[in-house]
Chain A
Amino acid sequence: MFFLTKTYLKNHVKYLLFLMAISFPLIIFLFLTNPGVIIFGYFIENPIYQKFPVWAVVIFVFIIFSLASFIMFFVINLFLTSLRKRSDRQSKRLQGLFLRLIISYLYPVEQSIDEEYKTIARIKKFLYNGFSKKELLISITKVAENINTDFSYQFKNLVLKLKLDGIVKSMLYSANLSDKVLAMHIIYYLDLGNVGYLKRIMKYSESNNFALRTESYITLIRLMKDESQLVEFIGKKYNLSMLDINVIVNAILNNPMLKIDFIKLLSSDKTRKILIGLLMAQYKYRDNSRSIILILNQLDNENLMVKRLAWDAYLSLVPEKEGFDLIREHYHELDHNVKLMIIKHFDFYNNKPEIDFLDEIILSEPASIKIEAMKKMFKLNMKTFIKYVEIEDPVMVSVCSEVIDININ
């Protein structure tokens, strides 16, 4: 509450200062168009009263405003430099200290309640103001980010014992975007899911500010216990960007406990949801045979990216023979980028149909695909490869030379 009040006041003081700065030219103008002003009984005379026309007075106002602002900015810059130097020093010192204490809290020399109590007491000693509390929270997120083990329970315990949950809540409700983002990071790493937070973060996931939206997606993914909910809220109101998709996929992959209904994603009518489903099928649910049929449906999707990812996922999931049969059947209907991806990523084998297929590709496709196919051929079947060396077509000569040079050098 205190943090929230402080942020609220700070923001309003900022607005007040801004309003004062805006009204400053008006005050000067009023002064310059009057004979003078009486302040605390003293009469301050206007030296240029009625000596210049009104437009010249306006110029005077701008000059005074500009020079005053110049000096003000200089002073603010000096203040900022000093503040930053101090906060950098403090932050470095505090974060170093907190990191050490957090590590000793997570990996105590002796496992005992007493030891834990002592460490918490030591941390508490340094939590003397809002700045140090925020630094502790940042340190916790840094540790959580860099340690593979899930310590969310311990972190949650630490935050609750230090009574920092209030500051997290205040930051989540703050008007400041960066505070909200930091709060969500903490909630995410600490797994601080409660109904109030969830409701709020759900609201942020519908925000038109994509930075806030992306962060809320990650946090919700981490906090969600009900998988069906997850599928519902993703991309509910706004289209997902590739950043959103990547962030969501990474968040899901980093949370092994989370099971999501990727089948529902794959059968969604929203392109971006299908993309998540495809990536899930490829990276998280590789053993789930139910996905294959749904991926098959997406192989001829109108959206090029869906098509490319569907082929990529499909070929990585099915046995080589099955994959090759499908490639051979559909290859010529595909777009250049999908063809290139297939030739680049598919593990061809040294058998007649596959060598014949690669041979056909090498002879008929443009240089970019030729190169990839020839690289495969070089490794699979040198006898067929030698044949290309004798072809005099300039494109073939250059592609051949590149493949030989890259492989031999």
Chain B
Amino acid sequence: MGIEHFLHSLINVFFLVYGLTLFVSYITIGIFSSLELTFYNNRNKYFNFNSITDFKELPTISVIAPCYNEEKSIVENVRSLLSLKYPDLDIIVVNDGSTDDSLKILKETYHLVRVNFAYEQSINTEKVRGIYKSSGKEYSQLIVIDKENGGKSDALNAGINLSRNELFLAIDVDCIIEQEAISRMVKPFLEEEDDRKVIASGGVVRIANNCQIENGQIAKVNFPKNIWAEFQTLEYMRVFTLGRMAWSRINGLLIISGAFGLFDRDIVLKIGGYDITSVGEDLELVLRMRKYMHNVEKKKYKVAFIPDPLCWTEVPSNLKMLSRQRNRWARGLIDTMIKHRDMFFNPKFGRIGMISFPYWLFFEWMAPFVEVIGISYLITMISLGKIDLTIVILFSIFAFSFGLLYSSFSVFYEKLIFSRYRDYKFLFKIFFISVTEIFIFHPLNTIFSLKGNYDYFIKKKRGWGKMKREGFNSN
């Protein structure tokens, strides 16, 4: 009886401490992100970002866009990249062994001719079959690498090898990038102060499903019509507007989205580029860059974050694709956490080791386990009559209402600062989505994440899933 009581108390204390820590973390994230967003908005509201292109001393940039079977949207996407405004800019599209007509379409549309580039294999990649450049003057910035399939990281590495610029912008080719995006992303690099080197800057990714595209640019922002994309719209708002902004405030950002991030090429080269064995290459790269700065350079540095919606992407619009994507994210997270486990509560890595890394481990990786175990434990205890049902209901309502508050807070900031969704319909829809998300999207996400853990540890699955593009609603 004594042991049973002790175990019961121990489990209760564990869940209480876990829940309380998570609750306090969310409140802290809310406060920090509010401060950072307000500060960012105040200092950039009247800054003329177009003036950056007239600056005399600017870092040179290469945009690297890996592409795999993107024939439906490749022309539009490359046009979007070519419309980016920045002096001294290369656009490197890496065709990662597409089996469709992506390369053929690119060659025809942009008048590509094969060029023997002096390609240095600084980072090992799959075989490069050819490098193409446009013969048309209007597309003179465009370079296309055709290589054998090796995955997204491998394609990015090939792009890094070819680039001769100081910074590179890693993006998904299917993203629509706003014209001012590079000027906004490069600003933190220009704002380096007190020898605090900016090693990377990340930007917000927003959902382009159902948006209207004209000439490679977002002409009208529409709320998605598909329920899964709607859930993800809210999720992205929370993650980017609140989460990453707060981590950026304390220079504890661990991830820069693989779809949109600007990096110091020299540092990336020194650490050997993207890890091709990881499916969470974006998270892994930032961790390795941070580690390098702590261990080798031993200099003050920063990973910056820009809250403006600058990159628009298509997200999975059916359950099958969504489950594959989340499964991959879970496996990427586990893989990275295991690879860099030496950072866990390691004071040598400062806030990263003591706050960010443990947070990701406990509340990103472990959360689905704790949640499922907690719910199972509750059900068992209720059926055994050992827990008061009223209390369970009370806690459940609390979790639900706090989730609503958190979501509405992120929507509030979107409205207050960016206001990209301008109609009333959006508000009513997002209100409905916030309520239903907790019952539909969240449990599914938990299941997908657990499945990712199962696949990683039991099935030893390490590769990417497939994602079918629908192409944008383009005029």
- Give the B-binding residues of A (Cβ under 8 A): 56, 59-60, 62-63, 65-67, 69-70, 73-74, 76-78, 80-81, 84-85, 145, 176-178, 181-182, 185, 209-212, 215, 238-239, 241-243, 245-247, 249-250, 275, 279, 283, 309, 367-368, 370-371, 395, 398-399, 401-402, 404-406, 409
Contacts and interface: CB of A to CB of B under 8 A. Distances in A.
Given A74-B431, A181-B45, A398-B118, 11 more contacts: A59-B395, A63-B397, A65-B405, A76-B412, A80-B415, A210-B191, A215-B46, A238-B193, A241-B192, A371-B118, A398-B116
Contacts of B192: 241-242
B211 to A, nearest CB: 18
B384 interface: no
A405 B115 contact: yes
B69 to A, nearest CB: 28
B166 to A, nearest CB: 9
Interface of B: 41-48, 51-52, 54-58, 113-120, 133, 135, 164, 187, 189-194, 391, 394-395, 397-398, 401-402, 404-405, 408-409, 411-412, 415-416, 419, 422-424, 427, 431, 434
Contacts of A66: 398, 401-402, 404-405
Contacts of A65: 405
Given A398-B116, A402-B118, A74 B408 contact: yes
Given A73-B408, A78-B427, A241 B193 contact: yes
30 contacts: A62-B401, A63-B394, A67-B404, A67-B405, A69-B408, A70-B408, A70-B434, A81-B419, A84-B419, A145-B48, A178-B42, A178-B46, A182-B46, A185-B46, A210-B193, A211-B42, A211-B47, A239-B194, A242-B192, A245-B57, A246-B57, A247-B51, A279-B56, A283-B56, A368-B164, A370-B118, A371-B118, A404-B116, A405-B115, A409-B115
B134 to A, nearest CB: 10
A70 B427 CA distance: 12
Given A84-B419, A242-B192, A409 B412 contact: no
Given A78-B424, A80-B419, A182-B46, A70 B401 contact: yes
Contact of A81 (B52, B395, B408, B422): B422
A14 B194 CA distance: 35
A369 to B, nearest CB: 11
A5 B306 CA distance: 33
Contacts of B113: 409
A409 B402 CA distance: 62
Given A241-B191, A309-B57, A81 B427 contact: yes
Closest 9 CB pairs of A and B: A211-B43, A401-B116, A66-B401, A177-B42, A246-B55, A73-B408, A243-B190, A66-B405, A398-B118
A210 B194 CA distance: 12
Contacts of B115: 402, 405-406, 409
Given A70-B404, A81-B424, A209-B43, A56 B394 contact: yes
A221 to B, nearest CB: 14
A404 B434 CA distance: 60
- Would you call the interface of chain A mostly helix, strand, loop, or mixed? helix
Contacts, number: 148
A110 to B, nearest CB: 34
B57 A242 contact: yes
A129 to B, nearest CB: 21
A278 to B, nearest CB: 10
Contacts of B42: 176-178, 181, 211
A241 B118 CA distance: 35
A119 B422 CA distance: 35
A74 B56 contact: no
Contacts of B434: 70
A250 B55 contact: yes
Contact of A406 (B133, B189, B405, B415): B133
B384 to A, nearest CB: 21
B404 to A, nearest CB: 4
A328 B191 CA distance: 36
A178 B48 CA distance: 13
A349 B140 CA distance: 27
B401 A367 contact: no
A256 B186 CA distance: 28
Contacts of B120: 367
A215 B46 CA distance: 10
Contact of B412 (A73, A178, A249): A73
Contacts of A69: 405, 408-409
Nearest to A242: B190
Contacts of B401: 62-63, 66-67, 70
Contacts of B193: 210, 238-239, 241
Nearest to A64: B401
Contacts of A60: 394
Nearest to B421: A81
B15 to A, nearest CB: 14
Contact of A246 (B56, B408, B422): B56
A76 B416 CA distance: 9
Nearest to A72: B408
A148 to B, nearest CB: 13
B117 A402 contact: yes
Contact of B391 (A56, A63, A241, A409): A56
A368 B190 CA distance: 25
B118 A401 contact: yes
A77 B411 contact: yes
Contacts of A398: 116-119
A152 B256 CA distance: 44
B118 A74 contact: no
Nearest to A404: B116
B43 A177 contact: yes
A246 B58 contact: yes
A228 B395 CA distance: 68
A309 B56 CA distance: 11
B57 A77 contact: no
Greatest chain A CB density within 10 A among B115, B116, B120, B434 is at: B116
Contact of A243 (B114, B119, B191, B419): B191
Given A77-B427, A177-B42, A211-B44, A85 B190 contact: no
Contacts of A246: 52, 55-58, 190
